[in-house]
A and B are shown apart, each in its own frame.
Chain A
Amino acid sequence: MEPLVIVGASLAGLRAAEAARRGGWDSELVVVGEEGHMPYTRPPLSKELLTKEAASLTDHLLPAQVEATWMLGERATGIDRHGRRLELAGGERLAYERLVIATGCRARQWSGPGAELSGLHVIRHAEDALELRAALTRGPRLAIVGAGFIGCEVASSARALDLEVSLFDIASTPMPALGPLLGERCASLHRSNGVSLHLGLGIAALYGEHGRVRGVELADGTRHEADLVVVALGAVPCTDWLADSGLDVERGVRCDATLTVDGDPDLLAAGDIAEWPHPLAGGERIRIEHWTNAAEQGSFAGRNAVVAAAERQPYTGIPSFWSDQYGIRIQALGLPHLGHQHHVVEESPDGVRLVAVAERDGKLVGVVAFEGARRLPFYRTQIGGPLDLGSLRTQLAEDPKAFGTSAVAA
């Protein structure tokens, strides 16, 4: 029996290794990781690692007691599927029985005018966060390009450090994953915390002098000075190394419902990189770049990797994610961005806590809560089912655990 090989030594890879062992894999297990670190958890990279002076990567390593051979600092360059070998940058060829692909994503860089300037930062790896933290202590004016998860969390962290923060996005609201109604709430959150928001206009260029960035130029020609720019334009699946594999990697690694890679039952994929059909998206293939998805899919792929293809279970987990901004925890279940309409159904009298539902074709496709973790189980079982807003509101009005419905417009 050749080893089970897992490519990618982050959360999904670690969970895959653990699940494979739990599933009875007692032969050799190898985890190959490009970063030189044992698996660590990434959410603190845009938060604690930026704001806490004493924070270090060591605080955020994931417990990894699984029995495995860790090949760290090793980059995979290809798969010889016929010979069942994983090819590494150093020329080594690693035989595999089954292979789990969990190489995740990399940060999308700014590719427009000014890409060559110094003073541009992205956040993906621990080193990125530590470099940015060092740069932030020099007290600069910070411009953030992109108001998704990373952009919004960096804005929150930078305000905690009392920096001058401008946040830019071509979209008209931040946090597109939440849908426009809650995006508007996020915008208020940023404004009330002193962030200068510039929405609805594209970035024409990052401009600079003497090779160093000096600010952001918008599509309407206005210029906004900055000493430092964080580029938070989303992430790109790390599929380059699979270009010659013959697999469909156009939008990620294309899988079936069991996370088995299309066209090769010896390969599975998990986490940010996996594109798989989801019932909530009407069976369309989606990719999800959130922590919980990597954790769940990792263990699913690990379990499925050690059984025959016919015995593999479909992964049908309901997506969930969270983001912490200005002391407010934003959480979501399902796919709220797919909603055609969003409705606030609970709101505390002070307006801090709220729950909103996302509706698409009469179905409940997602739920978003602000400071509302304890309310999510109530909605969890309803996701994917029909949404009867009237009866939901009646039910909530009588529920003493609901945050309040009187302030919520019917």
Chain B
Amino acid sequence: MIKVIVDLNLCQSHGNCVLAAPDVFELGDDDILRWQEEVAEAKRAELEEAVNVCPMTAIRLEE
């Protein structure tokens, strides 16, 4: 499993991660990001893309 860590102090709800990995990230009705904290290895490429396209570099992956 891959651990997904988001620094909500940095996050500005651009939603780029939601577009990159829609099964993992979601913007709620309050525009605040929600995400799955443990994600299967099969989603690695999408997660890496989400990290890549975050304008605030607020997302980190840990093994």
Contacts and interface: CB of A to CB of B under 8 A. Distances in A.
Nearest to B56: A41
Interface in B15-52: 15-16, 18-19, 22, 27-29, 31, 48-49, 52
A36 interface: no
Interface residues of B, number: 17
Q: Which 4 pairs across A and B sit closest by C-beta, in order of nearness?
A: A373-B15, A374-B27, A295-B53, A295-B52
A322 B49 contact: no
A331 B15 CA distance: 10
B53 to A, nearest CB: 5
Contacts of B31: 373-374
Contacts of A43: 55
Contacts of B28: 374
A316 to B, nearest CB: 13
Interface in A264-306: 291-292, 295-296, 298-299
A376 B52 contact: no
Contacts, number: 53
Nearest to A63: B57
Nearest to A43: B55
Contacts of A10: none
28 contacts: A15-B52, A22-B48, A41-B55, A41-B57, A62-B57, A291-B55, A292-B55, A296-B53, A299-B48, A299-B52, A318-B19, A320-B19, A322-B55, A329-B14, A331-B14, A333-B19, A373-B27, A373-B31, A374-B13, A374-B27, A374-B28, A374-B31, A376-B15, A376-B19, A377-B15, A377-B19, A380-B19, A380-B22
A401 interface: yes
B38 to A, nearest CB: 21
A187 B57 CA distance: 31
A333 B18 CA distance: 13
Given A41-B57, A380-B19, 7 more contacts: A22-B48, A62-B57, A292-B53, A320-B19, A329-B14, A376-B18, A377-B15
- Chain A binding surface, main DSSP class: helix
Contacts of B29: 374, 401
Contact of B15 (A15, A299, A374, A401): A374
A291 B53 CA distance: 8
A105 to B, nearest CB: 19
Interface in A301-357: 318, 320, 322, 329, 331, 333
A144 B31 CA distance: 32
A166 B15 CA distance: 32
A401 B27 CA distance: 12
Interface in A39-65: 41, 43, 62-63
Given A374-B28, A374-B29, A320 B16 contact: yes
Contacts of B57: 41, 62-63
A331 B57 CA distance: 18
Contact of B14 (A15, A22, A318, A373): A373
Interface in A218-258: none
B33 to A, nearest CB: 10
Nearest to B27: A374
Contacts of B55: 41, 43, 291-292, 322
Contacts of A296: 49, 52-53
